[in-house]
Structure 1
Amino acid sequence: MGSGSDGGGALPLFETKEAKFKNAYRLFLISMFIGICMIWVYRITQILFDDDVEERLVWMLLFLSELWFGFYWVITKSARWNRVYRYAFRDRLSHRYEDKLPRVDIFVCTADPTIEPPMMVINTVLSVMAYNYPTDKLSVYLSDDGGSDLTFYALLEASVFSKHWLPFCKKFNIEPRSPAAYFSTKSNSVVDVEGLSSIKKLYEEMEHRIDTAANLGRIPEEIRTKHKGFSEWVSVTSQRDHQTILQVLIDGRNPNAVDIDGVALPMLVYLSRQKSPNHPHNFKAGAMNALLRVSSKISNGKIILNVDCDMYSNNSESVRDALCFFMDEQKSHDIAFVQFPQSFYNLTKNDIYGSSLSILTEVELPGMDGCGGPLYIGTGCFHRREVLCGKKYGTEFDVEYEDSVLINKVQEGASKLEETAKIVADCTFEEGTQWGKEMGLKYGCAVEDVITGLSIHCRGWKSVYFNPTRKGFLGVAPITLGQTLVQYKRWAEGNLQMLLSRYGPLQSYGVGRIKLGHRMVYCLWCIWAPNWLATLYYSVIPSLYLLKGIPLFPRVSIIPLF
């Protein structure tokens, strides 16, 4: 994909710049480390000369806590030692490759229509359908792990509304292209009033129909009879026990699948993979792997973007930006995935729980990029399909299942496509295969995205972190204490589980496969959970001893000036 006719003489499609004042910052870190070592020396000397057994024990535990903090500080700063920033030149991409752009498959994942309302889901779907990219090379898949007919109905409504929304977006070049986000901004006042009012009316009518069905908890009978897809729910026992439901709502190969201006629409597919109480479904990782197989039967895009249903596209150029990193003639051959940051639109004014993740997105991920590549954070990420399916860098790619080539015969209708692709979404399909192990996303860990990214790096690939001025994706952040605790608990448990697994960065799986600095940066999140013990001790014990008048820290000495 990275080869071009104008070869090595062509201008690069992306640029990498090091952080400013890098050497000054490194000098500062070295001075800080010297200070930490002096604290350790002081603590050791006090332990050796303290005759009180009880105080000596307390000082020893303080020293162990400080030793841990020093180790954690070193790990933290390894993520900031070599920060780099990336810049894409999509005008050069368009000039050289406009007629050779690859097919792109977009995966949108949802799991619960109550927590993730259908209107939120389809706003994300519509935003990615409206990318500034050739529509005949764009396919959008919605994975509904909740198996909800309400979500299917909302997507059906969105497929009709897209015939009006996509031309509107392109005619006025609007941003963002999520209808809900766009209509809530003040920027829409510059658009032709008549065009805006009519499209907004269509959206509000659609929203009313979907919300009415959601409030009723069922689809009205007159609507169910209009589309054959609703018949699939007749045999659904529950969300955790049902057959594969696969519906091609917009068949991009069909010449009749066009918008109101006669322009072809992107392919749009609904998938709810088969589930059974007798077979593990492996949560989001299982849904993603099912999408990989199903999409290979339908569109087989070389590049895959996956987004969570609450992370709508905020930049219609994101696909082209990502392709700059995949298609550069000189520097793209070892790049496996391009990770965009998680950014949010609902942050509180003071952000008291740190939901913006600003240190992660502005400092630590650029630092990780300089070490070999950022981790895969599960959303807003563009992958090479062959890498996600298990290819090692520098080797031929051999898929494990048959007939993985693109089925692109015009005479083969959508119904035939659905029946062919349903087979690979069965809950028994993965038995006896390497899916979840050497192929697809890894199973058995709460942070399946991070552990998958690590395994990709261990196969010789690199990754890129791209943080454009206009954010690529905007989502919903936890803004209450309860939401934040649940999120942090999941991250802490998952990363600790990863550390203790065979795929951990300190285990033999990572040794010799990725550089020491890269492994240290992965450890930054893996050892986040064990931090609690030293932090709790250091917060409680010194305070209690201070109340008893026993100092555990050096006394301040005043050196006379005269």
Structure 2
Amino acid sequence: MAMTKTTSSDHLLHTTTVQQLRTTINRAHILFHSILISFLLYYRLSRLFNPPIDDDFPSTAWVFMFVSELIISFIWLFTQSFRWRLVLRSVSPERLPGDKALPGVDVFICTADRKKEPTLEVMNTVISAMSLDYPPEKLAVYLSDDGGDRVTMKAMEEAAAFARRWVPFCRKYGIKTRCPEAYFSVFADDDLSIRGAKFQVEEENIKTRYEQFKKCLESGGDDGFCTENVNTISVNGRPPVIRVIHDSRENEDDDNAAKLPLLVYVSREKRPSYPHRFKAGALNTLLRVSGVFTNSPYILVLDCDMYCNDPTSARQAMCFHIDANKSSSLAFVQFPQIFYNVSKNDIYDAQARSAYKTKWQGMDGLRGPLLCGTGFYLKRMALYASPTQEDSFLLQPKVSFGISDKFIASLRGNNGQYIFKKGESSSDELLKEAHFLATCAFEKGTKWGSEIGFSYECLLESTFTGYLLHCKGWTSVYCYPKRPSFLGCTTIDMKDAMVQLRKWTAGLFQIGISKFSPLTYAMSRMSIIQSMCYGYFTFHPLFSLAFLIYGVVPQLCFYKGISLYPKVTDPWFLVFSIVWASSLLQHLYEVVSSGGSLRTWWNEQRIWMVKSVTATLFGCLDVFMKWIGVTGTVFRLTNKVIDKQKLEKYKNGKFDFSGAELFMVPLVMLVTWNIACFMGGVRKMLFEGGFNEMFGQCFLSFFIIALSYPIIGGLVKKNRKERRKKK
């Protein structure tokens, strides 16, 4: 059992456990591996400046190898910051004060295209958010629809109608899985065996209503849904539309079991003459609209396909947010992204094990993890100022926030749940004000997206905003409970995986080479180790360059009989061998210690190589093309529609390359090059000798081919099928 060190808050709302054994092993390995890398780089440099006199020294190839190994060492050094101090946290929500003392929470959900983000899936997320185990009068759910689709708005009305039955049912019987689609599927994990006949009757009634709800949504226009947009779309764009779908004031006199939170539909204005700002713009619009409606001090941001799996997540987050020892500087509580459709043979590394079971825990041991884009509870005021100057933004509020008096009034401490009260005639005025706050022109001349709100500097709006919050002095925590708080659907084919990674790579690399680079901007604003964490994220795309060199130069030299590594009998060969084995064993240790297997380790090694020379490479090219002015910013929405045939392939461990042919071009060329050079090099080695000198390059080519074998096999099968179809 791992040695641990535990600390706790005075009120025992949460505990922090330092993973002492893993931390000690990691630090020992860092020292050991650093010494070996120093020797390796010394070997390269010493031979480069003092080449052997007797040999025809390949100086150009040697320089390429040194650059590649320097890049890999550089990124490896950044990676060690995650391993410096790993912590685990646990919470005790039962120790929280009564419901009346809990702060309000506004839930933000964003959708943009119902063709890629199915309406039923979005509505399940909305219903699960409405079903959170939190006082309904202190909870509000806002959906931003950048598609401006009337189907989505009508679907919200249907979802609210279903929630009037579903939410009381969940509260009455203590249902944990409060996403109806998940509850009535194989993913539900509620123990229903102890429930009686009355429960079974009610459950059957609820199931019947849910099937009717699904048919209504899936039929679209056939059931009275108008498939036109919310408002008339022309070349001039469309005006904003905001509608209160369910007003919780309507059931103030009902018992708590029947109460529902506020539910609001928001479609912001779109005009071709104004920048769209993508998801960051949608979130900032929700910040303003919710500011005049509910103005809750905390915000939960969810992707439209990431439903609430644990209804107690808000209470878990409040264990940190209302702790007096932490709350003054705590900006957000991040929960992991966990996916319900991950296969046991996760060939695409869709679970992102390295991130959520190692890197985030390591950052939590410093000043906290970064924002992941979904599943985080954020302090609203953290988006407006630093922790030491929380009121500085009020000095010239109209310059920073715009000319809305009602919104500025909300900034001055009016955090009471419901700015508009029952019986007041101000609701129409607030709706009018909310429409004004959702216009394109409102942000003109303000500091939205630059100094306040979610940042517009990067397409990865949440990650970059979290980075800026840490630079301002805010902290964060990582909460990884046994029961996943949120569950979503991950990519199950190569195309979607590549599109998603290309977007992330381009966004992160753009930060790395900008004025906000962690190597310059962050060093004076946070600890060196924490800035190294961000340095890893922003510069890891350089792996693509190192991998290309390592996949081309040694193989060419192997084919020509030129040695780039020490002889097997040379003591320096041992240094290279131990460095290689040390890296692989460290990765294997992390995989096994976090619950993975040998197959998990191999899958991660393989997909890491594949991604580095495909999507990561294209992401770097996107940044370069944008830098020289050839292309502009392009937002690529990940497809969230589940294809049953693709899902079956994924579960069987078979790669699906449909639509990803362009991404695969560099990989196919690289593997073909390795096979050709390997065959030619082995032939030369067998007939002319040189095993002692060429073993390193021979083994490198073989290892790359072994990693790529299933992928090449999949591409060959795909080409055969296409030929058969043509015939």
**Residues 1:60 and 1:558: Cα distance change in structure 2 (over 3 Å):** closer
Opposite residue 549 of structure 1, the aligned amino acid is G
What's the counterpart of residue 59 of structure 2? 56
**Residues 1:558 and 1:163: Cα distance change in structure 2 (over 3 Å):** same
1:471-500 per-position Cα deviation (integer Å, ceiling 9, x unaligned): 111111112111111111001100011112
Q: Which has more radius of gyration?
A: 2
Structure 2 residue 32 is the aligned partner of structure 1 residue 25: no
C-alpha distance in structure 2 between counterparts of 1:239 and 1:86, whole Å: 52
The within-5 A match list for 1:251-266 is 251-255=247-251, 263-266=258-261
What's the counterpart of residue 91 of structure 2? 88
The within-5 A match list for 1:389-428 is 389-396=384-391, 398=394, 399=397, 400-401=401-402, 402-404=405-407, 405=410, 407-410=419-422, 411-412=424-425, 414-428=427-441
C-alpha distance in structure 1 between counterparts of 2:56 and 2:63, whole Å: 10
Opposite residue 89 of structure 2, the aligned amino acid is R
C-alpha distance in structure 1 between counterparts of 2:12 and 2:43, whole Å: 53
Between Structure 1 and Structure 2, which shows a larger proportion of helix residues? Answer: 2
What displacement does 1:358 show? 0.5
What displacement does 1:35 show? 1.2
342-351 vs 433-442, greater mean Cα deviation:
342-351
Listed as ranges, the gaps of 5+ residues in structure 1 are 1-7, 225-229
What's the counterpart of residue 220 of structure 2? 213
Picking from 553, 561, 583, the partner of 1:541 is 553
348-357 vs 124-133, greater mean Cα deviation:
348-357
498-507 vs 50-59, greater mean Cα deviation:
50-59
Kindly indicate whether the alpha-carbon contact (under 8 Å) linking 1:447 and 1:498 is maintained by their aligned counterparts in 2: no
Structure 2 residue 211 is the aligned partner of structure 1 residue 204: yes
C-alpha distance in structure 2 between counterparts of 1:446 and 1:350, whole Å: 31
Kindly indicate whether the alpha-carbon contact (under 8 Å) linking 1:348 and 1:479 is maintained by their aligned counterparts in 2: no
C-alpha distance in structure 2 between counterparts of 1:417 and 1:487, whole Å: 38
1:161-216 per-position Cα deviation (integer Å, ceiling 9, x unaligned): 010000111112112211001100364653532111110000000110111116x5
C-alpha distance in structure 1 between counterparts of 2:278 and 2:570, whole Å: 61
Structure 2 residue 516 is the aligned partner of structure 1 residue 503: yes
The within-5 A match list for 1:56-455 is 56-93=59-96, 96-185=97-186, 187=189, 189-190=192-193, 191=195, 192-213=199-220, 220=224, 233=230, 235-237=231-233, 241-255=237-251, 263-396=258-391, 398=394, 399=397, 400-401=401-402, 402-404=405-407, 405=410, 407-410=419-422, 411-412=424-425, 414-455=427-468
Local SS of the residue matching 1:337: strand
Opposite residue 247 of structure 1, the aligned amino acid is R
Local SS of the residue matching 2:250: coil
**Residues 1:258 and 1:244: Cα distance change in structure 2 (over 3 Å):** farther
What's the counterpart of residue 526 of structure 1? 538
**Residues 1:324 and 1:558: Cα distance change in structure 2 (over 3 Å):** same
Opposite residue 341 of structure 1, the aligned amino acid is P
What displacement does 1:240 show? 8.2
Opposite residue 546 of structure 1, the aligned amino acid is F
What displacement does 1:453 show? 0.7
CA RMSD in angstroms comes to 2.3
114-123 vs 30-39, greater mean Cα deviation:
30-39
C-alpha distance in structure 2 between counterparts of 1:324 and 1:97, whole Å: 13
Structure 2 residue 519 is the aligned partner of structure 1 residue 516: no
C-alpha distance in structure 1 between counterparts of 2:438 and 2:486, whole Å: 28
What displacement does 1:153 show? 1.1
C-alpha distance in structure 2 between counterparts of 1:177 and 1:541, whole Å: 55
Listed as ranges, the gaps of 5+ residues in structure 2 are 1-7, 572-727
What displacement does 1:332 show? 2.4
Kindly indicate whether the alpha-carbon contact (under 8 Å) linking 2:9 and 2:15 is maintained by their aligned counterparts in 1: no
Larger relative contact order (C-alpha < 8 A, sep ≥ 6)? 1
What displacement does 1:533 show? 1.0
What displacement does 1:383 show? 0.6
Identity of aligned residues (%): 37
1:361-398 per-position Cα deviation (integer Å, ceiling 9, x unaligned): 00001111122111111110111111123344343252
C-alpha distance in structure 2 between counterparts of 1:280 and 1:240, whole Å: 13
1:501-560 per-position Cα deviation (integer Å, ceiling 9, x unaligned): 22222233x23211111111001110122221111101221122222222211222299x
Opposite residue 529 of structure 1, the aligned amino acid is P
Kindly indicate whether the alpha-carbon contact (under 8 Å) linking 2:18 and 2:87 is maintained by their aligned counterparts in 1: yes
**Residues 1:53 and 1:444: Cα distance change in structure 2 (over 3 Å):** farther
**Residues 1:552 and 1:231: Cα distance change in structure 2 (over 3 Å):** closer
What displacement does 1:278 show? 1.0
Opposite residue 155 of structure 1, the aligned amino acid is M
C-alpha distance in structure 2 between counterparts of 1:349 and 1:265, whole Å: 38
**Residues 1:117 and 1:17: Cα distance change in structure 2 (over 3 Å):** same
Local SS of the residue matching 1:107: strand
Kindly indicate whether the alpha-carbon contact (under 8 Å) linking 1:122 and 1:154 is maintained by their aligned counterparts in 2: yes
Kindly indicate whether the alpha-carbon contact (under 8 Å) linking 2:142 and 2:266 is maintained by their aligned counterparts in 1: yes
C-alpha distance in structure 2 between counterparts of 1:285 and 1:9, whole Å: 34
Q: TM-score, normalised by structure 1?
A: 0.91
Opposite residue 237 of structure 1, the aligned amino acid is I
Structure 2 residue 11 is the aligned partner of structure 1 residue 11: yes
Q: TM-score, normalised by structure 2?
A: 0.71
1:259-302 per-position Cα deviation (integer Å, ceiling 9, x unaligned): 9x873210000000111111111000000000000000101101
